[in-house]
Amino acid sequence: MEPLQENAIAIIGVGYVGLPLALSLAKFHPKVLGYDLDNERVSELNSGFDRNNNLKNVIPSNLEFTVDLARIERATTYIITVPTPIDEKRLPDLNPLKHACSDVAQVISRGDLIIVESTVYPGVTEDVCGPLIQEKSGLKQGKDFFLGYSPERINPGDDKNTLEAVVKVIAAQDDKIMDRVKKIYEPVVKAGLFAASSIQTAEASKIVENIQRDLNVALMNELAIIFDKMNIRTADVLEAAGTKWNFQKFTPGLVGGHCIGVDPYYLISKAEALGYYPELIRAARRLNNSLADYVSQKTIDLLAISGVSVADSRIGVLGMTFKENVSDLRNSQSPVIVNELKKYGGKVFAHDPYISESSFLESHGIDLTGWQDLRDLDAVLVIVPHDFYIRENREAIFETIKTDGIFIDVKSAFDRTLLLGEQKYWSL
């Protein structure tokens, strides 16, 4: 086996976060290793294929992907980027992170640095990861190995706000280790680094970023529901309100993805363990989680008003991913709407140009429909306004709907003047 350089960096988990990080680090560091438990994924990456479409160029020669834990043993820095999901009770599930820490514990040596990038509640890096690594390795935290934290800010599908272009928060257990952390990220992040006052501060900052957005979107969603009951179009209200210099421009919509719909529960759990019940954060989560049901019921109501039985209807649901122009299905709310409409007997045609039929069937058990098969529909819901819909097929969408059908524009992405015949329009 070819020996690795002593200053190799090992990335633990090469998914949506780990792969872009590995690719960026490899531009400036002599050896980068991507370690993952998924043998199929590692094989794909070593062949130059990424199912998440994050590979823009050929993999550099100093970057290697492996499932062999022994291959990363000579690294001196380990960066953990595994997911931190929630369980069925919406409680933090730290098992992937703990598993990663256990793996690292098997291969670290004295003097090594472990940086956590996974989103966690304050205290996890030092109070969960550190003791676990110490127990499994027999090395002492803060003496034989050292801890750092740097929350990821990857935005899937965003070619502008990349790792290099966004200020990166970093933290470490002391000033000496902070210097080591800086040397790892400084060449990569052109926007600069922000040294947080403590690891717990850095952990909290990432959760706050996502909670803030969750609350703002929840406010817009609640306003949208109120205005809908008043027969006022929310987009028109926001356009008028947005003329004031200090109005914050958020819009209503379904909340999905790995971060915003998950991270608030980490702080909620920690707060409740401390005896505080965070009412506002919980309320925002409840509201945003309920919006898919609201859109489903609104569709049923609009069909009924038009004299169409849901059981006899043909409904197109466009956009299955959690956001525009990506293939990421994590926590997408579109399948919730599809399955809810199917429960009422509607014949639902799900479409998304960014995902393959096989992956979608495997993840959600819903058949995907080809674009050419979307026709004679009683209603069309554009859940995720991909460029494919609003640019490439902006007018063709309306031709898929009956002349007296319903067009549901969840995010107000379309011009209502494009409606054909007696077609009806609704948006949040």
Alpha-carbon gap, residue 196 to 291, rounded angstroms: 36
In the chain, what is the greatest distance between 2 CA atoms, to the nearest angstrom? 74
- Is residue 20 within 8 A of residue 52, CB to CB? The reply is no
DSSP state of 368: B
Q: Could you tell me the sign of the dihedral formed by the alpha carbons of 388, 296, 294, 225, in that order? A: positive
Q: How many angstroms separate the Cα of 204 from the Cα of each of 124, 140, 223, 278, 418?
A: 10, 25, 28, 15, 46
**Dihedrals phi, psi of 63, to nearest 5 degrees:** -115, 125
Q: How many CA atoms lie within 13 A of 378 on its CB side?
A: 21
Radius of gyration of the chain (CA): 24
Which residues share a beta bridge with 379? Answer: 315, 406
Three-state DSSP string of 14-66: CCCCHHHHHHHHCCCCCCEEEECCCHHHHHHHHCCCCCCCCCCCCCCCCEEEE
Q: Pairing between strand 168-172 and 145-149?
A: antiparallel
Question: What angle in degrees, to the nearest 10, is found between the helix axes of 199-229 and 263-273?
Answer: 110
Which tokens hold the place of 13?
Answer: 């988990």
Is 129 in the active site?
no
Beta strands in 117-224 (DSSP E): 145-149, 168-172, 193-195
Q: How far apart are CA 348 and CA 321, in angstroms?
A: 16
Determine which one of 82, 108, 259, 310 is catalytic. 259
The distance from CA 102 to its chain's CA centroid, rounded to whole angstroms, is 25
Catalytic residue list: 259
